Amino acid sequence: MSQNNLSKIIIIDFGSQFTQLIARRIRELGVYCELINHKQINKINNFVKIKGIILSGGPLNVYETKKIKFNASILKKKIPILGICFGHQLISKTLGGKVKKAKQREFGLVRIKKVKNSPLIINFFKKNLKNNVWMSHADEVIKLAKNFKVIAKSENANFCMIENSKDKFYGIQFHPEVTHTDNGKIILQNFVYRICRLKKNWSSKNQKMILINEVKKQVGNSKVICALSGGVDSSVVAKLLSNAIGKKLTCIFVNTGLLRKNEEQQVINTFKKKFKINLVYINAKNLFLKKLKNVSDPEKKRKIIGNLFIKLFERYSKKIKNVKFLAQGTLYPDLIESKSVTGSQTSKIKSHHNVGGLPKIMKLKLVEPLKFLFKDEVRKLGLELKLPKEIISRHPFPGPGLAIRMPGYITEEKVKILKEADNIFIQNLISHKLYDKIWQAYAALLPVKTVGVMGDNRTYEYICLLRAITSEDGMTADFYNFNKDFIQTVSNKIVNNIRGINRVVYDVTSKPPSTIELE
């Protein structure tokens, strides 16, 4: 199948951090959409299948006319248009309205009030006709363009939601795509189904076919290598590529010795034995331990592991001839956390292990088929690719592995203890049917020993910390509220079965202020 045959929404991107979120919401509604940079509107040469256009938000000001390459001819195509934030201001200004710096900037939750009916707000407002919406703007529309009417206003802004029902042009100052907006999804739903009259035409199956076609087109006859970690993202990339290019793919799996219990065996069984994918297995346990000896600084650990990983990867990939591409399981939130999508600086919290690094040194081109997807979309895609459920629903695991779940020095003995403790925790989560309710859970080993008593004897052993969080995307998180019986069962099993641990604690901090991992 080709996406060219599908009716679609086009999202014109003006550089907002949320543009991909709009795309994701449209996909969630089961409708195909495409993103286009605002400078490329001229390149659209066929409007037949475009049933609606969304103009995104962005960091620009509508009066910076030199920077904005907006081809207003798309307003004449008789296609419904929804402008969001900057997009709302842009439609207004282009059609003769006025936009000015707002007297009162609005950031965060703002209450808006319904003024009139519109197909855009069917079922959107609560009974009291007021909703909280997420705003993020310093400019505002102060005069409507011809034929526009107000649908809703806030205390500070009279033109929060506007429409020109004849031409089906809509503008909203707030962001319906973020979850903070009450019923935000209903606005997009109304636009897509009621106003653009689109029908469902999109699923993970379509997504799989489209991504496979894109990979084939990008890679051609070249060979590709893929760093397979056994986690969800790299597993989905490996299987997707294997479906697309078969034996032109070689996966390289580095056993750092810092993986979860039995993980290496599972990767070999699934990818080499079951899927018959070319897999190079590098057992570098001892090397990693040696390089990490006497290192306790978290960033140093990350750097050592990252660099060694690159070195090994480079050494083994050189043995494969004619490789031109490196496949990576980068997801959309990885891009946001590592660098702002609009190009502005964000503060660096941790040196992430899997974004960048490899290709710079190896001069390979990147294949990143998942880079616009969110984790749950990747999981759905994985199921579509027939990956085993244990891999798909597995909690995220950081590239530096158990090294960053073991503050202080890393020793073989500690790694062994931690693997066992983590396994007990995870197996109990599974058997108590809690695993899928939790976004990420793990055991860590703290670098302090405390006194305990077992039988009639004094013990002096490590503390095991358990962490379990709920989250949507790993960017913020809450700790999971276990009942006492469960956490006591796990604590008993860990202390009774593992020599080296005599105390178990549970981490009750959210992110922020903590991060999910300890280092």
Q: Which stretch binds ligand XMP (CB under 6 A): 68-76, 84-92, 178-186, 510-518?
A: 510-518
Contact letters for ligand XMP, residues 457-486 (x by CB under 6 A): -----------------x------------
**Active-site choice (33, 38, 85, 264):** 85
Min CB(471)–ligand XMP separation in Å: 8
Is there a contact between 241 and 279 (Cβ–Cβ < 8 Å)?
A: no
Which long-range CB contacts under 8 A does 393-396 form with residues at least 24 apart?
Answer: 393/435, 393/436, 394/231, 394/232, 395/435, 395/438, 395/439, 395/440, 395/441, 395/442, 396/231, 396/232, 396/439, 396/440, 396/474
- Is position 160 annotated as part of the catalytic site? no
Residues 6+ positions from 100 with CB-CB distance below 8 Å:
139, 140, 142
Min CB(400)–ligand XMP separation in Å: 5
In angstroms, the CA 446 to CA 519 distance is 12
DSSP, res 511: B
Q: Does 369 bind ligand XMP (CB under 6 A)?
A: no
In angstroms, the CA 283 to CA 505 distance is 33
**Taken in order 344, 347, 353, 357, is the CA torsion positive or negative?**
positive
Q: How many amino acids of this chain bind ligand XMP (CB under 6 A)?
A: 14
Min CB(469)–ligand XMP separation in Å: 9
> Residues 56, 207, 440, 491: which binds ligand XMP (CB under 6 A)?
440
Q: Does 353 bind ligand XMP (CB under 6 A)?
A: yes
Min CB(176)–ligand XMP separation in Å: 27
49: exposed, middle or buried (Cβ count in 10 Å: 0-12, 13-18, 19+): middle
> Residues 130, 285, 303, 350: which binds ligand XMP (CB under 6 A)?
350
Longest dimension (CA), the chain: 87
- Is position 85 annotated as part of the catalytic site? yes
Q: Does 352 bind ligand XMP (CB under 6 A)?
A: yes
Judged by beta carbon, residue 265 or residue 476, the one nearer ligand XMP is 476
Q: Which stretch binds ligand XMP (CB under 6 A): 311-319, 349-357, 407-415, 457-465?
A: 349-357
Q: DSSP string covering 360-385, please?
A: HHHTPEEE-TTTT--HHHHHHHHHHT
Residues 376-405 that bind ligand XMP (CB under 6 A): 396, 398-400
Q: Does 515 bind ligand XMP (CB under 6 A)?
A: yes
- Is position 226 annotated as part of the catalytic site? no
Q: Does 338 bind ligand XMP (CB under 6 A)?
A: no
170: exposed, middle or buried (Cβ count in 10 Å: 0-12, 13-18, 19+): buried
**Active-site choice (88, 137, 175, 395):** 175
Judged by beta carbon, residue 59 or residue 356, the one nearer ligand XMP is 356
In angstroms, the CA 361 to CA 338 distance is 18
Q: Which residues bind ligand XMP (CB under 6 A)?
A: 350, 352-354, 396, 398-400, 440, 474, 511, 515-517
Q: Kindly list the catalytic residues.
A: 85, 175, 177
